[in-house]
Amino acid sequence: MTAGVDDSMLDSVERLFKDLAANMENGKSLPANDSFDTAWSRVEQMGLPQLLVQENRGGFGGSWRDLQAVLRKAAAYALPLPLGETVVVHALSQYAGLEVFAGPSSIAASSVGVLRFDGCLDSGRFSGELRGVPWGRVARHILLEPPNYAAPYPLAVVDVAHVSNISHGANIAGEPRDSLVFDDAPVVLVHFETERLFALGALLRTAQIGGALERALELSLCHVGERKQFGRPLAEFQTIQHQLAMLAEEVAAVNCGAMAAATAMDGGKAEFEIAAAKLRANLAVGRGTSIAHQCHGAIGVTQEYPLHRSTRRLWSWCGEFGNDGYWGRWLGEHVQKYGHDGLWPMLTELD
């Protein structure tokens, strides 16, 4: 690990996540209010929302690589909290010189409406709709990318207290994906050069996909080691061993890509790495979940067995912040710009 979260701290984080997952209504995607508030309070007590905030401002002073490692653990335990989104909002707000906001936050990469400026660099007004906001109903602040975003337009933070209407929605895992409407709501402008929120969201989901795939592999290994067929454990069959080896390859590929993208973010620019990592993660979801469910047979789709808590999240996350088609086109267009003589130099210059 880099500065901010060392191995012993990561062990403490994992113990917290394991305990929270065991107590949040058996892994439901949307826990009851009291369960959510209790869990979020414990996450805040550990200081995790301030993971990327500088130490002199009360944070960990961690890195994007640290965030990747933490989100990987959170996803492995199917933790139903907007941790990654909150860390991003706190980090970008702090980078821009704003005070860190209290409570859970979220990001909105899809919006329609109008952002107008108040005649100064620090504030404005937003009228419009934020669509498919992760955990919008529990967020206190939302960092949004203005409609028709183009640099150097700033990002904007809106207080959910000013919402005029909210429509509850969910992804196929049951996690909140809400639409919020604002009417001339005051916003604080965030002037900081960073990757687009859409790309940062893809980085979060890539890290989470790695953790959820790890959990699917762990459950599969446990199941085939215990389940017997024709008097032998399933794990002794060569076909099963081959399938599990393929699943392990997918897990390793996703986590390597996520680590590379997070490391690139620590270097200041990671658009290409995020695109490649998210596309690879998306491809791994289809292959990995298919293998996990095949190894489990019928039990893998039951409500009582925990596999679906990981696989339904995986199926949801691979379509969020860019599906296969989106990132495939992005990479193709990006690579095409360099031509056959420029591609290799571009790749070798990446850190």
pLDDT digits (tens, 9 = 90+) for 204-219: 999 999 999 999 999 9
Task: Please indicate whether residue 255 or residue 60 has the higher confidence score (pLDDT).
Answer: 255
Ordered by start, the domain boundaries in the chain are 7-81, 105-190, 197-349
Dist. CA 136–CA 154, nearest whole Å: 21
The fold for domain 197-349 equals: Butyryl-CoA Dehydrogenase, subunit A; domain 3 (1.20.140)
Q: What is the pLDDT of residue 196?
A: 86
Residue 232's pLDDT band, with cuts at 50, 70 and 90, is confident
Fold agreement (105-190, 197-349): no
The proportion of the chain whose per-residue pLDDT surpasses 70, expressed as a percent, equals 93
Q: For domain 105-190, is the CATH number 2.40.110.10?
A: yes
State the pLDDT at residue 33. 66
Using pLDDT thresholds of 50, 70 and 90, give the confidence band for residue 1. Answer: very low
Please tell me the pTM assigned to this model: 0.93
